[in-house]
Amino acid sequence: MKQVIKNPILTGFNPDPSIIRVGNDYFIATSTFEWFPGVQIHHSKDLVNWRLIGHVLTKKSQLDMTGMDNSEGVYAPTLSYSNGKFWLCFSNVHACRGGNWMATPCYLVTADNIEGPWSEPIAIGSYGFDPSMFHDDDGKKYILNMIWDGRAQTNFFGGIVLQEFDPTSNQLIGKPKNIFKGTELGCTEGPQILKKDGYYYLVTAEGGTARDHAVTVCRSKKIWGPYEVHPDNPILTSRFQEHAPLARAGHGFFVDTQHGEWYLTHLCSRRIPNPEGYQFIPKYDNGYSILGRETAIQKVHWQNNWPYVTTGKTPVLKVEAPNLPPCPWPKTIGIDNFTDTKLSLEYQTLNQPFDNSWGSLSEKPGKLRLKGRHYLSSRYQQSLIARRFKSFYATAETKLEFSPETPLEMAGLCAYYARNGYYFLKLSASDDGKTEIQIVGNINDNYIEFTSPTTINPNEGVWMRLDLKKQWYHFSYSLDGIQWHTIGEPLNSTPLSDEGGPDIFRFTGSFAALFVADISGQLKHADFDYFSYQDNEKTQS
C-alpha cells in the first residue's frame, strides 16, 4: 500500500522549517526562540517518518540568551549543504518589545556532520531576522535577509537584502542590495533562494505569522533581479479559509527527492476555541494554537517554470508520499528514569544550558536533581527542564522528593508557555514549616492561586500528574503512586497559546516542565525519580 504523509509531520512547537536533502537523507531545522539548546534538527528518509537527532547551538559561546524575554532568541534558522559540509544561518533576536527598532544579530555556523559539533558563530550582519545562505553553482555564496525598518509606523518590513559572502575570510563583501520589496501581503520575511532550470526562485514568507500568513514565490534569470512575482501568488496560504484544519500556513521552502518529486515544507497551527466568557486573555475569533506552530509538508508540481501546490493553495492533512522505501524509526520510550549521564534530546531549558551549577544527573544516580533559583516569572535563572506537548491529548507524570522548610522553597510540575503564561502544581511549605501542595499560575501578568494550600505528609515523596485534554489541563497527585487525588478544577488551555498573550510577540508552544525555585538563594534542591510523557491522541474519538 502506498504511503501517505500525515500532517503535521513535526507536531508541537516546531516552526519555520528549513528543509534540505543530502543524498538519501532529509533534514529539517526549526526555530527554538528562548529555549536552549538552539535549533532542533529532525531527520527522515521517506518524508513520512521523522525523528529528532539533535540541536545545533549547544554551548553558551554559540548562543548567549541571558535575560531573553518570551519569544526572543533564535528566529527562523536556515539549513544548507555545500562543499561537503552543513551550513546554518540564524538570528539571535533581542529587544522585540519597547520601541520600533529591534536588535537582530545574525550568525553562521558550520559542521561536517549534521549531528555536530558545530562551529563557533560567524557574524553575518544585523539587517533583520531570518538570514539564509545561497550557494550558487559558480562557487559564489550569498547571504539573504529581511530588513527591519524601525522608522515605519505600521509595517516594519523593508524588503529583502542580498550580499555576497566570502567563505575564505568569512566576511560579507561588496554592497548589499534590496532585491525585493515584497507584495501587497506585507511582512516580507524568511527569504531563501532555489536555483532551477536557469531561474533563481526567491521564496519568502508574507502576511505575518497569524491567519494571513502565506508563501510567496518570485523568480529572476539573475540573482540580483529584477524578480517577477508568481502569477498566482501566494502559492500557499490558509487566509480566508476559517475552517482549514491547518491554519496560519506560511514560511516554506522546497525540496526534491532522488526521483525528481517536489515538496514544500511550511509552518502551520491547529487551533481550538476559547470557552465562552473566559477572562484574562484576548478574544480571538480564529482560535488558539496551544501546541504552537508546527511543521507540515505539501506536494508540488512545476508548470511553465512556476511551482504550484498540487492539491491547491490551502494546505491539506494527507499528502501523497514520494516514491521512496518506507523508513519508520524505532518508537521512543515514554518514560525517562534519569539513568543516562546527560539529558535526553527531548528536553530544553530556558535561556541557558543545563549545567552542574543548577542541575545534575550524577549527584544522586538515577534521579534528576534540580537546585532552586529564580521563580517562574524571571528572565534569568530558572531551574527548569521541559518537553513539548505534541498532542491535544497527553499525560506528563513525575515523582518528586523534596523537603521544603519555608514558602521560599518550591518545586513541582508545570504546564508552561511563557513566564506570564503557566500553571504550576507546587510543593512548598507554610510559614510554620508544614508541607503544602497548591496550584498557582500566571495568566498575562495576573498571578492567580487556583487552589488553597493543602497540607500533606509525603513519606516517600509526591507523585504528580498533568493531563492535557485539548481544552483543559487537569492536575492530580498521589502519596503512594497508586491512589491519585484530583486537585483543583480543570484549567483552560488557551491562555497557554500563541494567541493567548497581550501582544503579538508569542511564537513558541506549550511544554510540560519540571521546576524548582529557592527565592532565598540557598539552592535548595529537589530530586525527580522519573519524567514520563505519553501522547493519548489515538485513544480519543
Residue 497 · residue 270 · CB < 8 Å: no
What is the DSSP secondary structure assignment for residue 272, as one 8-state letter? B
Phi, psi of 114 (to 5 degrees): -60, -30
Q: Given 16, 34, 212, 397, which residue is catalytic?
A: 16
**How far apart (Å, rounded) are the C-alpha atoms in residues 322 and 7?**
14
Q: Which three cell numbers stand for residue 467?
A: 493531563
* C-alpha span between 324 and 47 (Å, rounded): 9
Residue 288 bridge partners (DSSP): 272
Burial 369-403 (b: 16+ CB within 10 A, else e): bbbbbbbbeebebbbbbbbbbbbbbbbbbbbbbbe
How does 199-230 read in b/e, with b if 16+ C-beta sit within 10 Å? bbbbbbbbbbbbbbbbbbbbbbeebebebebb
Is 120 designated active site?
no
Cα 154 to chain centroid, rounded: 26
Is 536 within 8 Å of 393 (Cβ atoms)? yes
**Which residue in the list 72, 189, 212, 397 is annotated as catalytic?**
189
Alpha carbon distances (Å) from 389 to 47, 248, 511, 512: 22, 19, 5, 7
DSSP state, residue 348: B
H, E, C per residue of 288-343: ECCCCCEEEEEEEEEECCEEEECCCCCCCCEEECCCCCCCCCCCCCCEECCCCCCC
458 cis-preceded (ω within 30 degrees of 0) = no
Q: In sequence order, which residues have a C-beta less than 8 Å from that of residue 84 and are 6 or more positions away?
A: 112
Our answer to whether residue 189 is catalytic in this structure is yes
Give the residue numbers marked as catalytic: 16, 189
